[in-house]
Structure 1
């Protein structure tokens, strides 16, 4: 019996890499054809979308969708990794910073911003991950990139540290793919002149997939199932149901004389998921065919 194709929304625990989660799902699904849509650091928890069998081909398109996070930023200390796992590089404290100043600075990160990714990101530099180069003692200078923070809400600002010399900030944000929350912590600390780093990160959504749908590895070990690929595609992209003639063209990857607003999931009359198509050169052309 072949393994079903679909998505698994995992609530990743802290301490595991995204690759660790993929390895667990491979064993549970009984197939090597498993991948994930966007890395979560070992310290981070929350939504990790995993594809099984043919659904792995959806993952590259899901990578482009927006994401949401809950995070805690500590102000007054900077680290090499912009999170709590790095070595402290400066500890100025934040005794002179108040909540109003924190909220004002963080409000400035909403909208389109130029962001320099953290040096220990998974971005490749001349074929090697940036974090591999940093761990090997190399200096890594990553160019800034344009990202969008759609929404950033500060929930709490409170004193921390042995003598109240630090500030912990709880916040939530919704952002474009490629946005580094660690970099926001770093840059907010720099803007306040005290340094900052991330102490907790929980991803609450990847596109339409949320914590409400996520299952722990323990739950998956008890009862393993996938969200079928057709349901996953309908949830993730605009959908169009075709007649049989158009479906035949799509099965062969042919262009369709049809207007699409963007990347769209196409379905046969019986509900079978056929392909992702996109507008190109005035017609709808195949981005990926799944049959």
Structure 2
């Protein structure tokens, strides 16, 4: 008789993991899942192995809402090495070209950065997870194959110069989903006439989560608590899943409205917002899920626990 596989703990919450250098996002996630003995786990947006910083790990029912964090804006702190272009636009690639950086001033850098603010078209790099005819671009790139890609519209909300000491500059980037910071660094270097690549990258924010407002949790912290075999200590590190949607308005439902909404029906809620997505709660402040305001003012369930 076959033994049933242990399904894992039904733990739910969001861990703000500080992904270390050298680990892939999936490797980091699998470690977290193993330490928590979680039944379900997923992350919200990959970080390259050379990048550190925020990797929100969703456990249990939180995975149902991970798409909303995938769609959220991101913040990065990035160091750009000017004068050196690489095959991957980061420090892991082979050097393609080296150009002197003498004469590049802080004033010139600031002028160039202004060109990248707002909506811009960005060409996905070959070393990316974008698919071409069913194959990931990075797999083709490793075979020496380059294919035509279509530019994508992204938004650069803020691009602040933190340090300027050529050949290195440091930037704070606030951008929309789908932005490739490696490509942004490469394009800035190209505009400066010298090329460039990412020498260090840290993600400092995803949606409502920001390094300046809340501490991230290291793999070492999680591992240490797992060794103590104290699930309560591990679970104390988790944020409630509705914190991922904290920037949305909330709607509190009566008992009747909550019942019908959980049956999949749109309900009328007095004084609800007039448009957009909302967080839904019952009378006891229990989070029910996400709703959308319809044209007739009713609240339609979109994603429920």
> After superposition, where does 1:259-278 map in structure 2 within 5 Å?
259-278=273-292
Counterpart Cα distance in 1 of 2:264 and 2:121: 38
1:169 aligns with 169
2:187 aligns with 187
> After superposition, where does 1:141-290 map in structure 2 within 5 Å?
141-159=148-166, 167-211=167-211, 212-223=214-225, 224-225=234-235, 226-230=238-242, 232-233=243-244, 235=246, 237-258=248-269, 259-282=273-296, 283-290=298-305
Runs of 4+ in structure 1 displaced over 4 angstroms?
A: none
How many equivalent residue pairs?
A: 282
Counterpart Cα distance in 1 of 2:174 and 2:245: 22
The answer to whether structure 1 residue 61 and structure 2 residue 76 are counterparts is: no
| Residue pair 1:260, 1:284 contacting (<8 A) in 2 also | no
| Residue pair 1:260, 1:278 contacting (<8 A) in 2 also | no
| Residue pair 2:10, 2:39 contacting (<8 A) in 1 also | no
1:134 is displaced (CA, Å) by 1.1
1:262 is displaced (CA, Å) by 1.6
TM-score (norm 1): 0.91
The structure 1 residue matched to 2:48, chosen from 36, 41, 45, is 41
Deviations 1:77-132 (A, max 9, x none): 11111111111111122123222211110121111111112221122222222212
CA RMSD of aligned residues (A): 1.7
Q: Which moved more, 1:114-123 or 1:57-66?
A: 114-123
| Residue pair 1:233, 1:265 contacting (<8 A) in 2 also | no
Counterpart Cα distance in 1 of 2:43 and 2:143: 26
Counterpart Cα distance in 2 of 1:280 and 1:177: 25
SS in structure 2 at match of 1:4: coil
TM-score (norm 2): 0.87
| Residue pair 1:250, 1:275 contacting (<8 A) in 2 also | no
Counterpart Cα distance in 1 of 2:253 and 2:158: 36
The answer to whether structure 1 residue 107 and structure 2 residue 114 are counterparts is: yes
SS in structure 2 at match of 1:90: strand
Check 1:233–1:266 CA distance in 2 against 1; reply closer, same or farther (3 A cut).
farther
1:142 is displaced (CA, Å) by 2.0
Counterpart Cα distance in 2 of 1:136 and 1:31: 37
| Residue pair 1:149, 1:174 contacting (<8 A) in 2 also | yes
Check 1:64–1:260 CA distance in 2 against 1; reply closer, same or farther (3 A cut).
farther
| Residue pair 2:9, 2:39 contacting (<8 A) in 1 also | no
1:280 is displaced (CA, Å) by 4.1
The answer to whether structure 1 residue 81 and structure 2 residue 88 are counterparts is: yes
Deviations 1:54-84 (A, max 9, x none): 1011111111111111110111111111111
1:138 aligns with 145
SS in structure 2 at match of 1:227: coil
Counterpart Cα distance in 2 of 1:22 and 1:101: 41
